Amino acid sequence: MDTITTLTRPIEFSNYISILEISYILASVLFVLGLKKLSHPDTARSGNLWAAAGMTLAILCTILFHKTKLGDGTYAGIHNIGWILAALVIGSVIGWFAAKKVKMTAMPQMVSMFNGMGGACAALISLMEFPGMQTRFAAESASSMLNGEALAILLGLMIGGVSFAGSMIAFGKLDERIGDIKSPVLRYINLAFLVLLFAFMVFILFKEPVEGENWMIYVMAGLALVYGITFVMPIGGADMPVVISLLNSFTGVAAAMGGFLYSNQAMLTGGILVGSSGTILTILMCKAMNRSLLNVIIGAFGGSAAAGTQSGDKTVKEISLSDAAVLLSYSQKVLVVPGYGLAVAQAQHLCHELENLLGSKGVELKYGIHPVAGRMPGHMNVLLAEADVPYEKLQEMEDANNDLMNTDVVIVVGANDVVNPAAEEDPASPIYGMPVIRVWEAKNTIIMKRSMAKGYAAIENNLFFMPKSRMLFGDAKATLQKLISEIKSI
């Protein structure tokens, strides 16, 4: 291998290395353009493909052209290619099937799961690189491991580990396998673990390197995993998407640490790009809910903090199916406000059927979509699009709110927190300040619900007790089915 000496410092050079570097530049450009295209509805799909093409290029060129400098100054290409290809095939097949088979309702937890895999990958890289690095520094008889390489390895392990454990907990929570643990004590335990984690990292950095003394890297990994769990455990309810987005940007930073470690520009740009755009996305999501990021992380959402709104003595009014059918048939404007309950019941197709049926009777039916309806911003749009609901029928929250005074009937299907008047009226409510769809302004409101249970944020909803509100209890799918046949028989 030649050395270019006309520069200020020597750089190893060969044609292969150049091709690899060019592929990384191309990949970085494709990542940026892909991300840019992803943020416009018309170009989003091709943006995703561009980024995927960049990734494929970077992976292939790494396998073909990457050279590692060995201790004796010689270079070696990628070994174990058979194993690497086998792992690539296994991962691709599982990833492909998991992504294709997952129900659209379960998509947020799937994203969380894939995010965790990336975090774990970053953490494993650090685990594998640490012993070799320590051996090298021990051989040079360095007095401490205070340098960029060790810092990148330790940060990669820490952030990757937290992201992995946190994403798994987030996955479990969204999949309703894990409940929330809310306790003020947990906040301090949390903080204690974070301090411990950083203290331990500093301890390793200032420690004299000793060959083979690798126990501390495993302790560090363990601490990161525990912190990831305690970090996500108390956060619940409507805040989950924010946490996933935050963990997503964490994994980006962890990947960038790998790029720093290997002086790999594709990893560095890709990782940092996701890290910063993920952070901005997280903040945008917080804004959509009118909450601050800090508030999401340390504030116990819902639960015991929700004082005020008593229950028990208030009664709700029910509406019979036939009354609801008549009311709907003789309306002019109907607005459906869908929530996660609709998605869980897989009732989006029936909604579309109702829309067509009422349309044939001259009733105009539209959908009012709250930005955080479903489990993630934009999730509900995806679900309704899956049921062939035309784009023009979907109204954003502001448009829906402006139109509500002229709306005859609002049907709330499986939504709760996004139509809660407490967000505007009750300063003590944990969702106070969150923009909501003001369904109580319409002439009639029909609320389809399985029971009087609270919403995902676990807050009482006064809407149910309002004079214009009527309840229609039952499973969203079955009720819609009955309602449709009732309307047909009129």
Q: By CB under 8 A, is residue 147 in contact with another protein?
A: yes
Q: Is residue 87 close enough to count as binding another protein by CB under 8 A?
A: yes
Instruction: List binders of another protein among 167-186 (CB under 8 A).
Output: none
Instruction: Closer to another protein by CB, 132 or 433: give it.
Output: 132
CB of 461 closer than 8 Å to CB of 309: no
Q: Is there binding between residue 127 and another protein (CB under 8 A)? A: yes
Among 17, 26, 102, 216, binds another protein (CB under 8 A): 102
**Binding segment toward another protein, per CB under 8 A, in 253-261, 331-339, 439-447, 458-466:** 253-261
Q: Give the binding range for another protein (CB under 8 A) out of 32-40, 305-313, 316-324, 468-476.
A: 32-40
Instruction: Select from 16, 26, 114, 186 the one that contacts another protein (CB under 8 A).
Output: 114
The yes or no reply on residue 216 touching another protein (CB under 8 A) is no
302 Cβ partners below 8 Å, 6+ apart? 236, 237, 430, 457, 458, 459
**Residue 326: strand pairing partners:** none
Question: Any catalytic annotation for residue 42?
Answer: no
371 binds another protein (CB under 8 A): yes
Tell me which of 136, 175, 187, 276 binds another protein, using CB under 8 A: 276
The neighbouring-strand residues paired with 470 are: 446
Piece of 270-278, 314-322, 347-355, 462-470 that binds another protein (CB under 8 A):
270-278
Indicate which residue of 239, 313, 388, 417 is catalytic: 417
Binding piece for another protein, criterion CB under 8 A, among 218-226, 277-285, 293-301, 416-424: 277-285
Tell me: does residue 162 bind another protein (CB under 8 A).
Answer: no
Among 255, 358, 423, 472, binds another protein (CB under 8 A): 255
Chosen residue from 17, 26, 38, 142 binding another protein by CB under 8 A: 38
Contacts (CB under 8 A) with another protein, residues 52-71: 52, 55, 58-59, 62-63, 66, 68
Stretch that binds another protein, among 101-109, 133-141, 427-435, 479-487 (CB under 8 A): 101-109
CB of 200 to another protein, least distance (A): 21
Considering the rule CB under 8 A, would residue 413 count as an interface residue with another protein? Answer: no
Nearer to another protein, 262 or 301 (CB): 262
Please give the torsion angle defined by the CA atoms of residues 421, 422, 427 and 432, in that order, rounded to the nearest 10 degrees. Answer: -90
**If binding is defined by CB under 8 A, does position 155 make contact with another protein?**
no
244 interacts with another protein by CB under 8 A: yes
Q: In the chain, how long is the greatest CA-to-CA distance?
A: 89
Residue from 105, 109, 264, 420 binding another protein (CB under 8 A) = 264
Q: How far apart are CA 58 and CA 52, in angstroms?
A: 10
**Residues tagged active-site:** 417
